[in-house]
Chain A
């Protein structure tokens, strides 16, 4: 990301927003929820954009991260931040089970991952000795207080999740500009051709899957420590895949900022506008957003606005 973009973004999320709304717990809790979606959306977009894979099963990683971190912190007294890291690593390890699905194409991969997500949820339900089964895990420790600052407050959680999401965005950017990114891009253009020039495309895809799973697991773990409660239905809810997907399609999955702008935008629209307008069944608007975006601007809102902006600038020049 170019510096002239980075600085304003940092200024907005770390200075402007806390200054304007830091004391307003309502706005902060909406933003926390939105950035949790944004984190998953970013991971989803990374897999879709760099790996070329559409996943219907990111809820699997979210749930594994949430459960692993919660259980480690409760049963083994792991510090919460270490637990969150372990949640991410655990989700990446869990994604090893999905490696055989990597050779599947498009919709087949999407469905296979959905099957995995369902299987993980059933396992969380059935292994009652470890996961407490359907009853769920209660009393998950909250984010810690560091040097007198309470990170379990709304503002604290906001700063944690925003930092994590921005770190992930940075890593995504670094991967994209690295030679892996170049190889992945070449792979998109022609998988057979890359194989001929000696790029192992399955290995590349596997690495993207690990990275995406890790990110999703970390976000799932943060959410578990934020809500302090998980059960299989909630932690592995299909919604953890679907809302980020809507966010990515809305914001655009080829750009870095697309998933973030999309997630915050769609979450706020849904909660503040659609719900007020429609009430019961306001989810219909999410469906409509998906359909309209795919039909009229498959690359999402951010590139669309970017194009307009460039055109205006050019016209002015």
Chain B
């Protein structure tokens, strides 16, 4: 039993890491603009399919797809941003509907271009086992986890130290005051969208290497990212990592201790608990949700 729990916790930790990288972009945009980008999962999916194309058409290692993914996804993110800024009234609600519609468009574009077949990398190196004492994982999972932690750290430091980072935070906490201080909120918001695009590109390529992709996946990824953003609370970058790991570990423990059919139930109950009992998420600064 102990071995089981140990391995489940480890597997959950690694899954959580991958969730974090997927959620990070969504959380950043939400923190800056209070806009939930329901097309975020499709950004990740797009990057994953670009990795597939690079591998299958050019016979390159899928990791080499990163630069192309970043360019394509960032252009897409910029378009989404420009459309979101066109919403003039009730932006919080209307952006939900707008980005949801854009997500449907992207999913079906992926279906047009790549068809419904499932894909994953054929580079066997990624699937080799890494054994650390009693703990087992695939190389790709470990790589995904490490990338995620590094990205969280970079983003955290960047938001804290750089001028732009401080501008993002300033816009996020008080848009009008930031404007008075000479910060152009449009530029800062665009930048946060572009960073979300870069993060989505990394997650997409990693997802292609570690898991199996298909067009319907985008929606599921968005929902997971959304849950983690809520768990973390607005504006907490390390909270995203911790929230994601919490979700990953609880899912894995549910499978081990109860039944694998109840995995999603755990995530949903966790979400409801945090929403209803901890109004600011686990780590968010106080913000009015009710």
A binds B: yes
Contact surface of A with B, Cβ cutoff 8 Å = 54, 100-101, 103-108, 110-112, 114-116, 118-119, 122, 125-126, 245, 249, 280-281, 283-284, 286-291, 294-295, 298
A281-B86 contact, Cβ under 8 Å, with A101-B276, A111-B271: no
Bound: A106/B91 CA distance, A: 11
In the complex, the answer to whether A119 meets B268 with C-beta atoms within 8 Å is: yes
Q: A111-B227, A118-B265, A249-B97 are in contact. List 19 more A-B contacts (CB 8 A).
A: A54-B93, A100-B276, A105-B288, A105-B289, A105-B290, A106-B96, A111-B230, A115-B272, A126-B261, A126-B262, A283-B107, A284-B108, A287-B101, A290-B100, A291-B98, A291-B102, A291-B105, A295-B86, A298-B90
Known: A107-B96, A108-B289, A289-B101. A298 touches B108 (CB 8 A): no
Q: Is the beta-carbon distance between A286 and B111 smaller than 8 angstroms?
A: no
**Taking the nearest CB of chain B, how far is it from the CB of A242, in angstroms?**
8
Interface of B is mostly: helix
B92 close to chain A: CB less than 8 A: yes
B99-120 vs A: 1/0 string, CB under 8 Å?
0111111011101100000000
- How many angstroms from the CA of A107 to the CA of B275 in the assembled complex? 11
Most B CB within 10 A of own CB, among A54, A107, A290 = A107
Which residues of B are interface residues toward A (Cβ below 8 A)? 36, 83, 86-87, 89-90, 92-94, 96-98, 100-105, 107-109, 111-112, 223, 226-227, 230, 261-262, 264-265, 268-269, 271-272, 275-276, 288-290
Partner of A115 from the list B98, B102, B104, B271 (CB cut-off 8 Å) is B271
Nearest opposing residue in chain A for B102, CB measure: A291
* A-B pairs with beta carbons under 8 Å apart, 24 shown: A54-B93, A54-B96, A54-B97, A104-B275, A106-B93, A107-B36, A107-B96, A111-B271, A112-B272, A112-B275, A115-B272, A119-B265, A126-B261, A245-B97, A283-B107, A284-B104, A284-B109, A289-B101, A290-B104, A291-B101, A291-B105, A294-B97, A294-B98, A298-B94
Chain A residues within 8 Å of B94, by CB: 294, 298
Question: Chain B nearest CB: distance from A60 CB in Å?
Answer: 12
- Please give the distance in Å from B220's CB to the nearest CB on chain A: 11
A289 / chain B contacts, CB cutoff of 8 Å: 101
Bound together, the chains give a CA A295 to CA B104 distance in angstroms of: 16
* Residue in A closest to B105 when the chains form the complex, CB atoms: A287
Minimum C-beta distance from B283 to chain A (A): 16
Q: Which residues of B contact A125 (CB under 8 A)?
A: 261
Which residues of B are found within 8 Å of A284, using beta-carbon distances?
A: 104-105, 108-109, 112
Whether the Cβ atoms of A290 and B98 lie closer than 8 Å is yes
- On chain A, the residues within 8 Å of B268 by CB distance are 115-116, 118-119, 122
Indicate which residue in B108, B265, B289 contacts A287 across the interface (CB closer than 8 Å): B108
- The distance from the CB of B90 to the nearest CB of chain A, in whole angstroms, is 7
**Which residues from B are CB-within-8-Å of A108?**
230, 275, 289
Known: A111-B230, A295-B87. A280 touches B111 (CB 8 A): yes
Q: A103 CA to B96 CA in the complex, in Å? A: 19
Which A residues are CB-close (under 8 A) to B93? 54, 106-107
B275's contact among A54, A106, A111, A298, by CB below 8 Å, is which?
A: A111
Whether B104 and A104, one on each chain, are in contact in the complex, defined by CB atoms closer than 8 angstroms, is no
Neighbouring B residues of A126 by C-beta, 8 Å: 261-262
The 10 closest A-B pairs by CB, nearest first: A290-B101, A287-B104, A284-B108, A291-B101, A103-B290, A287-B105, A281-B108, A115-B268, A287-B101, A294-B98
Inter-chain contacts of B97 with A (CB < 8 A): 54, 245, 249, 290, 294
Using A104-B289, A110-B96, A119-B265 as known contacts, say yes or no to A283 and B104 having CB atoms under 8 A apart. Answer: yes
What residues of chain B lie closer than 8 Å to A103, measured between beta carbons?
290
CB <8 Å contact, A288 and B101: yes
Q: Which of A114, A281, A295 contacts B111 (CB 8 A)?
A: A281
How far, in Å, is A172 (CB) from chain B's closest CB? 20
Cα of A176 to Cα of B111 in the assembled complex, Å: 43
- Chain B residues contacting A111 (CB-CB under 8 Å) are 226-227, 230, 271, 275
- Chain B nearest CB from A103 CB (Å) reads 4
A294 touches B290 (CB 8 A): no
* Contact call B96/A280, Cβ cutoff below 8 A: no
Question: Which B residues are CB-close (under 8 A) to A283?
Answer: 104, 107-108
B236 CB to nearest A CB, Å: 16
Q: State the Cβ distance, A104 to closest chain B Cβ, in Å.
A: 6
Residues of B contacting A112 in the complex (Cβ-Cβ under 8 angstroms) = 271-272, 275-276
Q: Nearest Cβ distance between residue B16 and chain A, in whole angstroms?
A: 19
B38 to chain A, nearest CB (A): 9
A52 to nearest B CB, angstroms?
9
Complex contacts, A249 vs chain B, CB 8 Å: 97
Q: Which residues of A contact B269 (CB under 8 A)?
A: 119
Beyond A101-B275, A288-B101, whether A122 also contacts B262 by CB under 8 A is: yes
Contact partners of B288 in chain A: CB under 8 A: 105
Contacts of A116 in B (CB 8 A): 268, 272
Which of chain B's residues has its CB closest to A48's CB? B93
